[in-house]
């Protein structure tokens, strides 16, 4: 028998129509929502990754690229050099493997550079001028976004070429010059003026002399930390940043002579770049790392590729001295807090050169003389609007508290541009609110077919060890389409028709392609089937009181 305590539908025969008036019995109703995909949430550049993946999977490559450029001016670069935290957060990783977001972005970026695509935007000239000091990722991004807002921007940098540590800190086997140049030339074509080989000691004077209305400082962390290693001078001790800069200034590193035995001191990503570059010059490379293998700050894929190419890692070691071509190492052990401590045991390595890769610092003296600018713990203090203590002087990138990645720097550049634009107009910029996160438990993984991740082509090992040719290859169009279509559209309706087909009360109304659906609440009894079955978690139940 039917449970009389439960509501039931009354069916009225009105002509040829059946009307189920059940709305008055609901305690909760379904509503369509938009949730924040985890990939978008973790992108330091603020890209709407899900949106451009959707356009890419539809074959609208230029549209997808234009969507990226709303937030990030350097897709071809980002698709190679970014550490893609988005993929670490991707919900698809709980189904099989994360979507290869960086590989699709790289495909789109290279396609744009090949065809000469330009950003699609409209901006009335504001009559305002901004000086950006530093042509690294933060400075380039800030100049790009300010240009899209209608401002006139000049970038000044002490180096010969633009790019900052993108050019002088990332080896060409990871980021070829022609790729970097392609993304930078586009910014120049938009109207940004570049003043290279220009070292600005007095920033306020440069601002006044040039008639600039605002100043954005992004000189990066390009001063290497040093370490005094006791020795007799028989072993050359040099800094990693200097070595990487020499690799760029000397084509393929042919003029560099690091010797046949090279020791890299450090376990971060810069250390990996130097070690792998030294291998390409024919050196036998040992990496001396203070931390344990599990604690090394370098990304796992960087370590894996370095080991594949022949680098050897000596974890839990510290250099004591360097005498007569011999390096004395102190063996370390982890204490109860997981900190490395000396054991009193020693071993030795033969070396011609020691390369210090123990971090970089900011040349803070460039801003310390500016009234109101404060420096603490080696970085410049800024407020929530990215302005220093001096009105009209903004700062970003590695010289302010940050993660010190190229993606974070690009995000800083965009954020600073919004704040500078608002300040120039006498307003305050407020970032738009974010939706709630689209968690994996909100999804129905059964809906999505198994689709293993596309493997990017990799250069043969012998060619990796003997030259600076790019290690990772591109996806072709078919693979890029396939990879984009692996996106689960977490938290946002992609019009799969599941709610429309499963509703027992015909309470879901289709609004047409691209317009999604709506609920007809006069018909809905609040059973929640649509919520339970929605593949992407784009429906939730709310109290009828709302």
pLDDT at 14 exceeding the cut of 50: no
Read off the pLDDT of residues 457-479 as tens digits, 9 standing for 90 and up.
999 999 999 999 999 999 999 99
| Total count of residues recorded for the chain | 546
Q: Which pTM was predicted? A: 0.91
Q: Do residues 352 and 262 lie in contact, with contact meaning Cβ atoms separated by under 8 Å?
A: yes
Tokens 């692996």 belong to residue? 486
Domains of the chain: 11-34+493-543 (3.30.70.20), 40-119+443-484 (1.10.1060.10), 129-221+362-424 (3.50.50.60), 224-357 (3.50.50.60)
Structure tokens belonging to residue 262: 């090279």
32 vs 119, 130, 142, CA distance in Å?
A: 33, 43, 36
The CA–CA distances, whole Å, from 465 to 191, 245, 460 equal 40, 20, 9
**Whether residue 10 has pLDDT greater than 50:** no
Residue 269 per-residue DSSP state = H
- Which residues contact residue 65 at a Cβ distance below 8 angstroms, ignoring those fewer than 6 apart? 52, 75, 108, 109, 111, 112, 117
pLDDT of residue 16: 37
Task: Give the separation between CA 277 and CA 451, rounded to whole angstroms.
Answer: 35
CA distance 213 to 207: 8
DSSP symbols for 439-459: -GGGS-GGGSPP-PPPPPPB-
Q: For CA atoms 56, 61, 65, 67, give the dihedral sign.
A: negative
Q: Is 262 helix (H, G, I), strand (E, B) or coil?
A: strand
Tell me what pLDDT residue 71 has.
98
Q: Residue 317 belongs to what H/E stretch?
A: strand 317-323
Q: Which residue has the tokens 């008639």?
A: 211
The Cα–Cα gap between 215 and 393 comes to 5
**Among residues 221, 170, 143, which one has the least CA distance to residue 379?**
221
Q: How confident is the model at residue 535 (pLDDT cuts 50, 70, 90)?
A: very high
Q: Which is more confident, 11 or 520?
A: 520
Supply the mean pLDDT for the chain.
92
Q: What is the Cα–Cα distance from 272 to 250, expressed in whole angstroms?
A: 20
CA nearest to 200, candidates 390, 361, 360, 363: 363
Q: What residues are paired with 105 via a beta bridge?
A: none
- Alpha-carbon span 223 to 132, nearest angstrom: 20
Residue 115 and residue 387 in contact, taking contact as beta carbons nearer than 8 Å: no
pLDDT in tens, 241-297: 999 988 887 654 456 789 999 999 999 999 999 999 999 999 999 999 999 999 999
Helix (H) / strand (E) element for 282: namely none
């Amino acid at each position: 028998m039917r449970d009389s305590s439960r509501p039931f539908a009354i069916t009225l025969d009105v002509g040829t129509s059946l009307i189920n008036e059940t709305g008055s019995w609901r305690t909760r109703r379904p509503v369509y929502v938009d949730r924040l995909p985890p990939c978008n949430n973790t992108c330091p550049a603020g890209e709407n990754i899900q949106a451009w993946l959707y356009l890419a999977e539809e074959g609208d490559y230029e549209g997808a690229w234009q969507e990226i450029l709303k937030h990030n001016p350097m897709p071809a670069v980002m698709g190679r050099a970014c550490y893609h935290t988005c993929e670490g957060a991707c919900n698809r990783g709980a189904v099989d493997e994360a979507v290869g977001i960086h590989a699709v972005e790289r495909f789109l970026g290279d396609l744009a550079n090949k065809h000469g695509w330009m950003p699609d935007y409209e901006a009335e000239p504001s009559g305002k001028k901004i000086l950006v000091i530093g042509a690294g990722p933060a400075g380039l991004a800030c100049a790009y976004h300010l240009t899209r807002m209608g401002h006139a921007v000049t970038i000044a940098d002490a180096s010969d070429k633009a790019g900052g540590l993108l050019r002088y800190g990332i080896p060409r086997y990871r980021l070829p010059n022609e790729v970097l140049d392609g993304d930078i030339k586009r910014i120049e074509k938009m109207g940004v003026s570049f003043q290279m080989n220009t070292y600005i000691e007095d920033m306020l004077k440069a601002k006044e002399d040039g008639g600039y209305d605002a100043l954005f400082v992004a000189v990066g962390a390009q001063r290497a930390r040093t370490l005094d290693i006791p020795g007799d001078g028989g072993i050359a001790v040099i800094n990693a940043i200097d070595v990487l800069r020499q690799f760029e200034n000397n084509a393929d590193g042919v003029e560099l002579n690091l010797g046949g035995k090279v020791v890299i001191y450090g376990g971060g990503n810069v250390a990996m770049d130097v070690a792998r570059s030294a291998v390409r010059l024919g050196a036998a490379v040992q990496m001396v790392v203070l931390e344990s293998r599990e604690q090394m700050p370098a990304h796992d894929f960087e370590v894996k590729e370095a080991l594949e190419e022949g680098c050897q890692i000596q974890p839990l070691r510290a250099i004591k001295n360097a005498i007569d071509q011999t390096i004395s190492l102190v063996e370390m052990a982890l204490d109860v807090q997981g900190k490395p401590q000396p054991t009193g045991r020693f071993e030795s390595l033969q070396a011609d050169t020691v390369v210090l890769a123990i971090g970089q610092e900011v040349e803070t003296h460039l801003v310390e003389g500016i009234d109101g600018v404060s420096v603490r713990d080696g970085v410049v203090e800024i407020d929530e609007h990215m302005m220093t203590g001096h009105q009209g002087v903004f700062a970003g990138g590695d010289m302010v508290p940050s993660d010190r990645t190229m993606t974070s720097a690009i995000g800083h550049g965009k954020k600073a541009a919004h704040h500078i634009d608002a300040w120039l107009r006498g307003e305050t910029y407020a970032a738009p609110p974010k939706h709630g996160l689209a968690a994996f438990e909100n999804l129905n993984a059964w809906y999505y077919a198994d689709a293993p991740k596309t493997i990017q082509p990799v250069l043969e090992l012998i060619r990796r060890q003997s030259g600076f040719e790019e290690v990772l290859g591109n996806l072709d169009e078919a693979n890029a389409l396939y990879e984009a279509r692996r996106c689960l559209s977490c938290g946002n309706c992609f019009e799969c028709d599941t709610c429309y087909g499963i509703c027992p009360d015909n309470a879901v109304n289709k609004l047409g392609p691209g317009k999604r659906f709506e609920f007809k609440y006069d018909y809905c009894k609040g059973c929640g089937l649509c919520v339970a079955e929605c593949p992407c978690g784009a429906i939730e139940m709310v109290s009828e009181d709302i």
